[in-house]
Every structure is written in structure tokens, then in C-alpha cells.
Amino acid sequence: MTLDPWLLLHHTVCGGLAAAGFGVLFNIGFRALPWCAASGALALAVRTLALGSGWSLEAASFFAALTVGAAVHLLQPRVGIARNAMGVAGCIPMIPGGFATRAILGLFAVTAPNHADDGTFVAALESTLRVMFTLGALGTGLAIPSLLLRVRGIK
């Protein structure tokens, strides 16, 4: 399967812009916003490449978060901002909003007094599970480098 380079560029640029926007929301300093943009660009580039290789959304998101977590952990002394803030700002653009919307709307449809079929519930449940597994993959991917690469003081 070949990946369109324009699609990769589009996802990389949009991921960087979204991460910089979330950096503003997290009150990250102006000088550090390009680093947030770089972490978001890296996250979306890695995820797009993994999805283009046939990986599932959850696996691609995990690998992208793992990559961002490792890069943020290794670059943090040069950047000077908190690893957690930069990593989270970089990974937030990978949250599957479309699946979350379908899950919520499907659950609203199921609780309506005159819902039509059980297919709505199955679709809503599937979307809910994809969101939960993707969020779990993002959190785990961000946490692993911090746990593995932690510098321990020797006494």
C-alpha cells in the first residue's frame, strides 16, 4: 500500500498546528510552542505512516505516542518545558473525535423512547470501545518512555 506524500504532509502540518493550539490552551510559553507543534507533527506523521502500512488505529496511535514520549523525554533538557505538557499537547490531536461523536450520538439514539434496531447499539458500542482503546493506547504510549528512561539517582 503506497501512501500519498501530500496526505502525510497535510496530517503533519495539521497535527503541528493543533498541538500548538493545545499548547496555548495549556499556558505553555510562547518560546516553547514550536516544540509543541513539533511533537504534534511527529505524532501525526508516525500515526499516518503506521495507518498507511495497514496498522489498526489503536496500534498506530500507541506507536505514535510511544515515539513522541521517547522524543519528548530525550529532548526535554534542551527544551526546558515539562515533558508531560509537551507530550500531551502533541498527542491530543490523535484523539479520535469522529468515533467519540458516533459513540455519543449512538448512545443517545439507543436511549430514545422509539429506537429502531439493535444495530444502533452495536455501532455505538463499537465506537465507544475504539475510543477507549485508543485513549488507553495514547496514555500507555506516553507513559512507557518516562518509566523506562527515567534517570535514577545512585546513592
Q: pLDDT tens for residues 20-46?
A: 999 999 888 888 899 999 999 999 999
Q: Which three cell numbers stand for residue 68?
A: 513522541
Q: Is 23 exposed, middle or buried (0-12, 13-18, 19+ CB in 10 A)?
A: buried
Q: Are 23 and 36 in contact (CB under 8 A)?
A: yes
H or E stretch covering 54: none
155 pLDDT band, cuts 50/70/90, is: very low
CA-based max dimension of the chain: 67
Q: How many residues belong to the chain?
A: 155
Asked whether the beta carbons of 64 and 94 are under 8 A apart, the reply is yes
Decide: 124 and 106 in contact? Cβ < 8 Å. Answer: yes
In this prediction, residue 80 carries a pLDDT of 67
What tens digit of pLDDT does each residue of 95-123 get?
A: 999 999 999 999 888 888 887 677 888 99
Of 140 and 86, more confident: 140
**Residue 52 identity (one-letter amino acid):** G
What's the pLDDT score for residue 148?
87
* pLDDT tier, 12 (very low <50, low <70, confident <90, very high otherwise): very high
Q: What are phi and psi of 152, to 5 degrees?
A: -105, 130
Across the chain, the runs of DSSP E, i.e. the strands, are none
Residue of 101, 84, 107, 95 whose CA lies nearest to 134: 95
Above pLDDT 70, what percent of the chain?
Answer: 92
pLDDT per residue as tens digits for the range 50-101 = 999 999 999 999 999 999 999 988 887 777 677 788 889 999 999 999 999 9
Q: How far apart are CA 155 and CA 153, in angstroms?
A: 6
